[in-house]
Homo-oligomer: A and B are copies of this chain.
Amino acid sequence: MTNSNTSPAQAVRLRARDGSLISPTAGLANGFVQVNLVILPEAQANGFLRFCQANPKPCPLIAVSEPGQRGCDILADDLDIARDVPSYCVYRDGQLSETLPDVSGLWRDDLVTFALGCSFSFEHALVQNGVAVRHIDEGRNVPMFKTSIPLQTAGGFAGRMVVSMRPFRAAQAIRAIQITTRYPQAHGAPVHLGDPALIGISDLAHPDYGDAVSVHTDEIPVFWACGVTPQQVLMDAGVPFAITHNPGYMLVTDIPESHVALL
């Protein structure tokens, strides 16, 4: 399905489309923005759009499709939203119903797709700037935690923020704040650092999602808004029908990471 004119990002999408890519997308097509997907019927989509606008740190909107469209030029010329992600989650009445490699059979004319920025973009920037990221070094998924941080209620959606955690020594934490500030479309600057209890996290060794990582005594845990937040919010709202990417199995876009950096 690929040839010499295929970009690395398009090659990933085509392998997802033909079913030959069944792994998470971390590390694939480096340099291109990967996004979280939320796909909702228009009846819920208009409210969800207001929710995203009101909560840009957990829900940084990169693109919103027209109802029923499986393409989205902002993300990629040749996109098929229903097939170009290696694994999808389908929710019914607020419960995870199934995971599927292709949702073209479930497609409806009223489905609206939201592409939300992902921390992969700023993690690449951290590493390129010499700031080591613990879960990458330890070969694990980033640790994620439910918090007490309230979200802005909007469009019929509400809840608490889910955050990801990365530990750093102080000087690297300061540098990480500077670097991630440049990426508002990838969750931007952290929302908290230091004492986890202040945001309702009781134990860093037991994340709600992902894997625990080492935190050394001279390190400060730093917390970023996480793209798992909207999935949690959709489940809490008991939406009748929703499709998302399966966490870790992202949509790889044709947008260069440099294009979403401020400065």
Contact = CB atoms under 8 A, between A and B. Distances in A.
A193 B190 CA distance: 15
Interface string A185-228: 00001111111001000000000000000000010100000000
Given A177-B174, A178-B177, A181-B178, A218 B198 contact: yes
Given A174-B190, A174-B193, 17 more contacts: A170-B192, A170-B195, A170-B198, A171-B191, A171-B192, A173-B193, A174-B177, A174-B189, A174-B191, A177-B177, A177-B178, A178-B181, A178-B189, A193-B193, A193-B220, A194-B194, A263-B263
Contacts of A195: 170, 218
B170 A193 contact: yes
A6 B179 CA distance: 42
A45 B220 CA distance: 40
Contacts of A220: 193-194
Contacts of A170: 192-195, 198
Contacts of A190: 174
Nearest to A173: B193
A83 to B, nearest CB: 40
Contacts of A171: 191-192
Nearest to A199: B170
A195 B193 CA distance: 13
A218 B191 CA distance: 15
Contacts of A181: 178, 181
16 contacts: A170-B193, A170-B198, A171-B191, A173-B193, A174-B177, A174-B189, A174-B191, A177-B177, A177-B178, A178-B189, A181-B181, A194-B194, A194-B220, A195-B218, A198-B218, A263-B263
